[in-house]
């Protein structure tokens, strides 16, 4: 049979069967890994961001070691590349891209959005980041410098956005609700609903 | 191997292994031959150039290196940077 004609499901089953038969992985380990992968979503990263906004100690931990900070929120990081966290400030705004492929912090943000993998985003994020942000409707004060982080090797990067004005006194749960995927990639900044 | 210090100016080797045969390189084309500044040592990781071909891969130091965005593209805003993970064996003193 031509492997190119094999349905992806049948191919997957064949690989799973071989991994088990050769003793490389047990069915339980495969099931666990699928569950871990499925748990990755922007909601995980949003929980970390909201916690960092209200808890200075957690924020410091997150900036020092994103992997430990994610684990502290119950996110499984075993087998994942190290997570680095880039903090936006009144002086610098971070934008994450992977020009070589689609490296992405999947444990905390899930699968990358389709545009993150596009040739256009990958090329323009490094060459014309200000033009790109403008198209996203993201307006930064003139004095804010851009740091484009090209995720080329073993780290995965997420952005810790600035807490927007007008959220004083908000509960952690309410803060979680305003943090979006793009805010943690850096194409957007959190905005208040309405 | 001596670990490069934060703040050290470096130049990415202007090397193009792609022209010599099959390879797997994690150093983007746009920074080859460019000067940047080491921000920090991110740790030591197996050399992806060997890993990709299932060869024994020695640990190599990985650095976060910042490049002035306008000097790479000859356009853009002064003060903006592109920060890239680059393995030590691709860096030489500037």
pLDDT at B1 exceeding the cut of 80: no
Under an 8 A CB cutoff, do A152 and B27 touch? yes
Split into its structural domains, chain B has a count of: 1
Q: What is the pLDDT of residue A3?
A: 59
Domain count, chain A: 2
* Token pair 């003139």 in the structure block, residue: A142
Please check whether residue B24 lies inside any domain of the structure. yes
Contact A186, A95 (CB under 8 A): yes
Instruction: For tokens 């309410």, name the residue.
Output: A174
Q: Which of B71, B75, B85, B88 to mutate to test the interface with A (most CBs of A within 10 A)?
A: B85
CA distance A144 to chain B (A): 9
User: What digits encode the pLDDT tens for the residues A30-86?
Assistant: 999 899 999 999 999 999 999 999 999 999 999 999 999 999 999 999 989 999 999
Q: Which pLDDT value is given to residue B71?
A: 92
ipTM over 0.90: yes
Cut 0.90: pTM above it? yes
Domain of residue A14 covers 8-38
Cα–Cα dist A185/A113, whole Å: 10
Q: Is residue B1 part of a domain?
A: no
**B82–chain A Cβ distance below 8 A for any pair:** yes
Give the model's pLDDT for residue A6. Answer: 67
Tens of pLDDT, residue by residue over B6-41, are 999 999 999 999 999 999 999 999 999 999 999 999
Residue B57 structural domain: 9-93
CA angle A45, B67, A81 (to 5 degrees): 35
In a domain, A51, yes or no: yes
- Looking at the structure, tell me whether residues A45 and A33 fall in a common domain: no
């Amino acid at each position: 049979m031509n492997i190119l004609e094999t349905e992806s499901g049948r191919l997957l089953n064949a690989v799973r069967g071989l991994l088990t038969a050769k003793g490389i992985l047990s069915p339980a380990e495969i099931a666990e890994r699928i569950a871990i992968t499925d748990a990755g979503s922007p909601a995980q990263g949003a929980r970390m961001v909201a916690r960092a906004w209200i808890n200075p100690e957690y924020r410091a931990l997150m900036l020092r070691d994103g992997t430990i900070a994610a684990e502290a929120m119950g996110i499984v990081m075993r087998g994942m590349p190290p997570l680095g966290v880039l903090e936006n400030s009144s002086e610098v705004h971070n934008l994450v891209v992977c020009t070589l492929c689609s490296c992405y912090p999947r444990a905390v943000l899930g699968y990358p959005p389709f545009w993150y993998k596009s040739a256009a985003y990958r090329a323009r994020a490094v060459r014309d980041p200000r033009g790109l942000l403008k198209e996203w409707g993201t307006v930064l004060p003139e004095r804010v410098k851009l740091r484009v982080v090209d995720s080329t090797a073993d780290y995965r990067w997420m952005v810790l956005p600035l807490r927007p004005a007008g959220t004083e006194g908000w509960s952690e749960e309410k803060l979680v609700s305003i943090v979006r995927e793009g805010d943690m990639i850096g194409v957007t900044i959190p905005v208040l609903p309405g | 191997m001596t670990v490069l210090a934060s703040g050290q100016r470096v130049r990415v080797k202007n090397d193009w292994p792609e022209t010599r045969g099959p390879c797997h390189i994690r150093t983007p084309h746009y920074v080859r031959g460019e000067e940047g500044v080491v921000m920090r040592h991110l740790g030591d990781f197996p050399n992806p150039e060997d890993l990709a071909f299932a060869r024994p891969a020695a640990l190599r130091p990985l650095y976060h290196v910042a490049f002035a965005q306008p000097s790479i593209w000859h356009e853009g805003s002064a003060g903006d940077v592109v920060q890239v993970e680059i393995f030590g064996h691709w860096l030489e003193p500037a």
